[in-house]
Structure 1
Amino acid sequence: MFWAKTLWVYNTRFSLGVDGAFQKMLLAINPLPTTLLLFGIALYMTGRKSYIAVVIVDAITSTWLFANVLYYREFSDFMTFALMKGSSSVSSNLSIAIAGIIKPGDFLIFLDVLILIVLLVVRYIKMDMRPIKKRFAMLVTAFAVVLFGANLSMAYHDRSGLLTRTFDSNYIVKYLGLNVYTVYDGVRTAQTSAVRAKASASDLKSVKRWIKNNHVPANVSYTGVAKGKNVFVIHLESFQQFLIDFKYEGKEVTPNLNKIYHSSNTLAFDNVFNQVAQGKTSDAELMLENSLYGLSEGSVMSNLGSSNTFEAVPSILDQDGYTTAAFHGDKGSFWNRDNTYKQWGYDYWFSKSYYDVKSDYDMGYGLKDKIFFKQSAQYIEQLPQPFYAKMITLTNHYPYPLDKQNVTDIPKTDTGDKTVDGYLQTAHYLDQSIGEFMAWLKKTGLEKNSMVMFYGDHYGVSSNHNPAMAKLLKIKGYNEYNDAQQQRVPLMFTMPGLKGGINHTYGGEIDVMPTLLNLLGVKDSQYLMFGSDLLAKNRNQTVAFRSGNFVTPELTKVGNHLYDTKTGERIKHPTEAQEKAENAAVNRVTTVLSLSDRVVNGDLLRFYKPSGYTKVDASDYSYKLKTSEDELKKSQKKGTSLLAKNKGKSTVDEYVTDAPELKSGKNSKDSSSDSSSSSSASSAKSASKKSSAK
């Protein structure tokens, strides 16, 4: 029963990419070795204990299978020890996500457990108290081991280097099974801990050599064009590139972002891909501000953010005279940001507890975007200029809920998929909040002295919803190639006087940091970055995904399949030139991911000292209310903040929003000016660096 159930889950709940009769056979075989091995434990026991052991093993393995079904449904990946280790940093939002993920049919996973218990209770199965011969028990165990060996041998025949070269958990589950993947992940996690303990400065040699050999000079025509400007980094949650210029029933889904995208003052990129793994948003932040890849398992921020050494954008700009701050309407501990941001050198960390939060202000994961931006204004105006401010939005977050009072003029789509059908509405709401925020920047004069960067952190709709995406985008034969192309996310830099245009270079989130630093005129050659300036000439345009897949302007590789990037046609018989290009891309992807993993897992940046850079000391930072109040009040004496330049007069009243939660009448100023604005500097709930260190 357990074998049949597992096979049913493999075929109906996972998308393992089984291709051909041989792989189907392996899929049918792979649950058997570990099932026999685990259930066979009961054979070493006697009497009632052996029956109880069977029930317990069945229940535990079924629960693990159930948990992976739920996780896979939304993230197209399997649970890992690193993920569980860091689960405390994301647990506050799990109940919301799980409620939208579970399907009634999922509980069939426990059917065999229930049947077994019932049969034992009604004594249909009578307990035999006679001990089983140890010889027979050992024979069953030996058979399970031999069967696994045969399974592994056949798997390697079809996929050489399965356990040594692969970056994709789907392959291991497809060939060897979920339980084997769990063991494999456990061993790999232990090895990572050992790597950290054994790491030394000499391990950096190969990293520095690769980065030096692959370094591409930045585009000098853009060097320093935003030097000394404030920087707003606007995080567009779960926002995919296809939303730009997308219309539904004749209406623009994102009119404000479309206008920015096509502005002559905006540098926009239409072939930038998200490259996240299990860390999702945290992986995106890691790449954007450190130019390091996330790991194939777990979240670097959750698991290593408190202890690793980083050379992040906030710390680099802080040492270049910037005030650095991050804003988010969620809990400060989510993704372990409370600790990670100290390691990254953020002076201020404005999280949920620093905002006025009422029941209808919260959408489950934190503040709704319009309220978040509105309330953030009181902190922005107090930041000494120039400043670097990252603002993380939330409303366009799975499962894309939008309460009735915020329903927009974009109707729900009719794909029949709840996830996809709510996506356009929350994206439209996010776009409206962006429009309001940009209007405030213009009204206060901050627009003239600021560069605003917009980026999408990761996909909004996973590959499990491909049929609905095919219907929404009207793509016939929507397949893995289309899914790979849909991993594009927006990246825009906008600033008055910036020489704009839409750039078609292929790149990823790993390339944002060097691009941003060049625009700000910050010399970056001394930092260890795996990305390159997106505006540079003759740059390598291979986009590496954590799965080991890649996209280039010519080729797209998904699993064992190769596609023509321009036409989408599968290349079954590649030319000599295509084979050469594929091999070169595969080698680059494998190398860059391995080297980045070496830096992260070994915490190698602790051994590296860039010229002119002072390493961050996390103990210099405090995100406590009283400390931050005192620091912000003291910082006003510098006279560079917007509030100081306005001689203490707040600009929060000038922020206009149509958020119904804050208003009595539409299209009018916030009637309350929000209670938070009246407190201004004296009651600012923020986070800051200790004044002695600043």
Structure 2
Amino acid sequence: MPRKRFKSLLSRMSSLLNLRFIILFCMIVLNFLFMHYYIATHIGLEDYPNCRAVSNLWACVVDAVVIYLFSYLLTIGRVRVSLPLAFSLSMVLAYANILYARFFGIYLPKNVLFQIGNLNDKDVLLSILSAVSYVDALFLVFAAIFGFLYVKWKDKGLQKKSFASLLTSVGIVYMYFILWLLFHIGDGKYYQSFKAGFYDLVPYYKWESSVKPNIYLFKMGFTRRFLYCMSDYTSKNVELTRNQLDEIITYSLDHSERVSDRPLLKDKNLIFILVESYLSETIDLVVDGHEITPFMNRLKTERNVYFNSHIHPNITCGQSSDGQLIYMTGLLPLRSVITVDVAKSCQLKGLPKLLKEYGRIKSSHIVIPTVATFWSQDDMCKVYGIDKIYSKDDVQDRVAVSADLTDEQIFSMASSVDCQTAPPFFSLILTMSMHGPYHLKPDSDFTLTDSSLPEKYRNYLIKCHYFDEQIEQYINSLKETGVYDRSVIVIASDHHIEPKQLDMEGRISTDLPLYIINGDINMRQSWTGTCNQLDVYTTLLDLFVRDDWCGLGHTLLRPEYNDSYTPQAERLSEWILRGDYFNR
């Protein structure tokens, strides 16, 4: 009897709706649901209250409707073509976000298309492809199910009542949310938070510092983020209020933790070596009886070398470009966008720009392993005040167009340029050898066989050993030419590596090392404990110049230290970037 009633109900629904269309449409929703819950469980959200799951289902339905309507318009109303197109687009979008999240820990940023040219870089492409997992086969399963059903039903009136079916599906989900709201109407802020997120067409988050990027997209979906993104880019520079300006001025002019009483350095070059993915864990590490970084181990013990192995990374989704921005400007990056796409149109107080304004240097240059446009390097160099870029385009014997320079080539070029440049100068050198992927064994005579360490970690350590050899040769060349004694040399890491990328979760720290050589720094009167990337810019200004602007970090040249990475510093950084504060 119940079976007959069920069949009767299905028959009635079939006369009113197109159940085949609804099932195929649900497969589009499934792609988005799988993406969100994979990222929620394997990558992580900032928090996870229950209402987010309800909001997420609605977001997936809205995104599926929009992507179907886009496909419908693209195919001029041919339902039989628009359904598989919409499914394919949703699958590509979902999988792209999973791959990106595995590598960067975040959904695809809303302005990632502006950096699409980075995929021409071989190392970046290989690193992203290394994130492919067996779990991804589920997308193939979804595609096979969709394909089987589509082939079976494509000639059975998929176009009939398709819009009525679509609207009914959306209506059912909508009614579910209305009921949910009614049942939770007494939950106060819990109810209000969900209500705002559900009804707002474009959630109004004017400031990125107030947004938790993963939970934001999990709750709102792509469509509403896209609408917010469009409104965001039509007013890229936000006009700051009087209160905001006053807070920036008051905070930045408070030099109590940003300036020491030490004398300033004069007539010194500043050479800043920004090392790719350099972890403090490698310092003093011995594997198979071999030191991983013997030169860097010795260097930290030498006279006139400041060393700190407890630098906390402050980067967000911009990775290397974020690290460079922090060190060059004393600002924190934005949370859920690639910050250089905002910063490249701003006026900022770049480190080399300030050094030149105060007469500490005559010129500045940068040596990079990639093309000049990588991570908008050419535009950002203008913002930082760097005069000249030396890139892989300046090396004729590189292996291939897509191949980045090796550390040997980078340091060789840097040594040549440094020797030919009139002092005092500023030089920024970017290395590349410790970049992923880590599943591929490096081409090196130095090998590690300790089976207690995962293969990816051993490969990373081999890369670190290669870097150690190359920087030793570079430092020796500076000593031979006399540049070493006339220079302050900073060695810092651009960003950390997530331990799970090396199969070392729970076994290694993400702290970064910092070396400052020839800075005449009294270690007993300096801070060598836990601090931030944000503090390096402020510390270097404390060595070289006295300006009203010292960055938002704290100097490490004092024995006392308070954490500089605060919600206020994050908020002020965004106001300065979004409001183009220094261009007033």
Q: TM-score range by the shorter chain?
A: 0.7 to 0.9
User: Do the aligned residues in 1 keep the contact of 2:554 with 2:561 (CA within 8 Å)?
Assistant: yes
Q: Secondary structure at the match of 1:468?
A: coil
In structure 1, how many angstroms separate the alpha carbons of the residues matched to 2:245 and 2:332? 16
Aligned amino acid, residue 208 of structure 1: I
Measured in 2, the distance between the counterparts of 1:272 and 1:256 equals 20
Question: Hey, what does 1:492 align to over in structure 2?
Answer: 515
Q: 1:239 aligns with which of 278, 281, 286?
A: 278
The residue number in structure 1 matching 2:246 is 205
Q: How far has the Cα of 1:598 moved from its partner?
A: 1.1
The answer on 1:278 being equivalent to 2:322 is no
Partner of 1:87: 116
2:539 corresponds to 1:506: no
2:332 aligns with one of 293, 296, 303: 293
| Partners of 2:501 and 2:327 in 1: CA distance | 27
The correspondence of residues 398-477 of structure 1 with structure 2, limited to 5 A, is: 398-400=436-438, 406-411=444-449, 415-416=453-454, 418=456, 420-460=457-497, 462-465=498-501, 467-470=503-506, 473=508
The answer to whether structure 1 residue 386 and structure 2 residue 424 are counterparts is: yes
What are the equivalent positions in structure 2 for 1:604-619 lying under 5 Å apart?
604-607=581-584
**Residue deviations 1:597-618 (CA, integer Å, cap 9, x gap):** 11101212101xxxxxxxxxxx
Q: Which residue is 2:576 aligned to?
A: 599
1:36, distance to aligned residue in structure 2 (A) = 3.3
| Equivalent residues of 1:395, 1:426 under 8 A apart | yes
Q: 1:75 to 1:194 in 2, by over 3 A?
A: same
Residue pair 1:327, 1:351 contacting (<8 A) in 2 also? yes
- 2:554 aligns to what SS in structure 1? coil
Q: Could you tell me which amino acid in structure 2 is paired with residue 32 of structure 1? A: L
CA positional deviation for 1:275:
0.5
C-alpha spacing 1:159/1:391, structure 2 compared with 1 (3 Å): farther
Match of 2:367 among 324, 327, 341: 327
SS where residue 86 of structure 1 aligns? Answer: helix
Q: Secondary structure at the match of 2:364?
A: strand
Q: Which amino acid aligns with 2:541?
A: L
- 2:102 pairs with 1:66: no
The residue identity in structure 2 corresponding to 1:33 is W
Verify: 1:368 aligned to 2:406, yes or no.
Answer: yes
2 CA distance for matches of 1:602 and 1:156?
31
Provide the C-alpha distance between the structure 2 equivalents of 1:276 and 1:517, rounded to a whole number of angstroms: 21
> 1:124 offset after TM fit, Å?
7.4
What secondary structure is seen at the aligned counterpart in 1 of 2:469? helix
Q: For 1:155 and 1:51, locate their aligned partners in 2 and report how far apart those are by CA, in whole Å.
A: 46
Cα shift readout 1:457-478 (whole Å, capped 9, x = no counterpart): 1013x2544753445x5xxxxx
CA-to-aligned-CA distance 1:437-485 (integer Å, 9 cap, x gap): 111111222222111111011013x2544753445x5xxxxxxxxxxxx
1:64 CA drift (Å): 0.9
**1: CA distance, partners of 2:441 / 2:43:** 36
Between the aligned partners of 2:86 and 2:367, the Cα distance in structure 1 is: 46
Tell me the equivalent position of 1:218.
Answer: 259
CA distance in 1 between counterparts of 2:189 and 2:379 reads: 42
> Where does residue 157 of structure 1 map in the other structure?
190
Equivalent position amino acid for 2:274 in 1: H
| Deviation for aligned residue 1:498 | 4.7
Offset, 1:506: 2.8
1:267 to 287, 306, 328: 306
Match of 2:549 in 1: 527
Q: Which amino acid aligns with 2:330?
A: S
Shift of 1:243: 1.3
> Is 1:342 matched with 2:375?
no
- State the alpha-carbon separation in 1 of the partners of residues 190 and 146 from structure 2: 37
Q: In structure 2, how many angstroms separate the alpha carbons of the residues matched to 1:107 and 1:368?
A: 35
Say whether residues 1:517 and 2:541 are aligned partners.
yes
Once the 2 structures are TM-superposed, how far is the Cα of residue 388 of structure 1 from its aligned partner? 1.1
1:308: how far off? 1.1
User: SS of the counterpart of 2:541?
Assistant: helix
Q: Which residue of 2 is the match for residue 251 of structure 1?
A: 290
User: C-alpha displacement at 1:167, in angstroms?
Assistant: 3.9
Whole-Å separation in 2 of the counterparts to 1:129 and 1:389 = 64
Q: In structure 2, do the counterparts of structure 1 residues 159 and 505 end up closer, same or farther at CA, with 3 Å as the change threshold?
A: farther
Distance 1:191 1:149 in 2: 30
Following the alignment from structure 2 to structure 1, what is the Cα–Cα distance between the partners of residues 111 and 166? 34
Match of 1:227 in 2: 266
Partner of 2:151: 121
Work out the CA distance in 2 between the residues paired with 1:300 and 1:404. 32
Q: Which letter maps to 1:120? A: Y
Q: Quick one: distance in 2 between partners of 1:115 and 1:504?
A: 58
Task: State the shift of 1:216 in Å.
Answer: 2.2
Identity of aligned residues (%): 19
Structure 1 residue 105: deviation in Å? 4.0
Give runs of aligned pairs for residues 130-149 of structure 1, distance below 5 A: 130-131=160-161, 134=164, 137-147=166-176
Measure how far apart 1:397 and its partner are: 0.6
In 1: Cα distance, 2:230 partner to 2:108 partner:
13
Equivalent-residue separation in structure 2 for 1:5 and 1:370 (angstroms): 45
TM-score with structure 1 length normalisation? 0.69
Compare 242-251 and 88-97 and name the one that shifted more.
Answer: 88-97
Q: Distance in 2 between matches of 1:107 and 1:367?
A: 35
Alpha-carbon distance in structure 2 between the residues aligned to 1:527 and 1:87: 34
Deviation, structure 1 residue 590: 2.4
Rate the CA distance shift 1:30–1:60 in 2: closer, same or farther, 3 A. Answer: farther
The letter of the residue matching 2:418 is I
1:100 equivalenced with 2:130 (yes/no) = yes
2:18 maps to none
Q: Which amino acid aligns with 2:583?
A: R
In the alignment, the residues of structure 2 paired with residue 426 and residue 536 of structure 1 have an alpha-carbon distance, to the nearest angstrom, of 35
User: Residues 342-362 of structure 1: CA distance to partner in whole angstroms, max 9, x if unpaired?
Assistant: 2221122111111233328x9
Query: 1:519 Cα deviation (Å)?
Result: 1.5
1:623 alignment partner in structure 2: none
SS in 2 for 1:452: strand
Q: 1:18 to 1:291 in 2, by over 3 A?
A: closer
Q: SS at the partner of 1:238?
A: coil
Q: Which SS does the other structure have where 1:359 is aligned?
A: coil
CA apart distance, 1:111: 3.4
Question: Does the 8 Å contact 1:236/1:392 carry over to 2?
Answer: yes
Match of 1:425, SS state, is: helix
The answer to whether the 8 Å contact 2:352/2:364 transfers is yes
Q: What secondary structure sits across from 1:309 in the alignment?
A: coil
Q: Take 1:536 and 1:395, find their aligned partners in 2: how far apart are those partners?
A: 34
Q: Report the count of equivalent residues.
A: 534
| Aligned pair partner of 2:393 in 347, 353, 356 | 353
Change (3 A) 1:441 1:490: same
Query: Counterparts of 2:180 and 2:352 in 1: how far apart (Å)?
Result: 49
Distance (whole Å) between structure 2 residues aligned to residue 107 and residue 219 of structure 1: 57
Q: Which residue of 1 aligns with 2:139?
A: 109
Tell me the alpha carbon deviations over residues 233-266 of structure 1, each in whole angstroms, 9 at most, x when there is no partner. Answer: 1111100111111222232111111111222321
Structure 1 residue ranges without an equivalent (≥5):
474-485, 545-588, 608-694
Deviation at 1:125, TM superposition (A): 7.1
Query: 1-side partners of 2:373 and 2:69: how far apart?
Result: 46
Bigger shift: 10-19 or 83-92? Answer: 10-19
Q: Secondary structure at the match of 2:111?
A: helix
TM-score by length of 2: 0.81
Distance 1:139 1:124, change over 3 A: closer
> What is the CA–CA distance in structure 1 between the aligned matches of 2:247 and 2:302, rounded to whole Å?
42
- What amino acid maps onto 1:327 in structure 2? V
Q: Which amino acid in 1 is paired with 2:553? A: G
Q: Which amino acid is the alignment partner of residue 427 of structure 1?
A: C
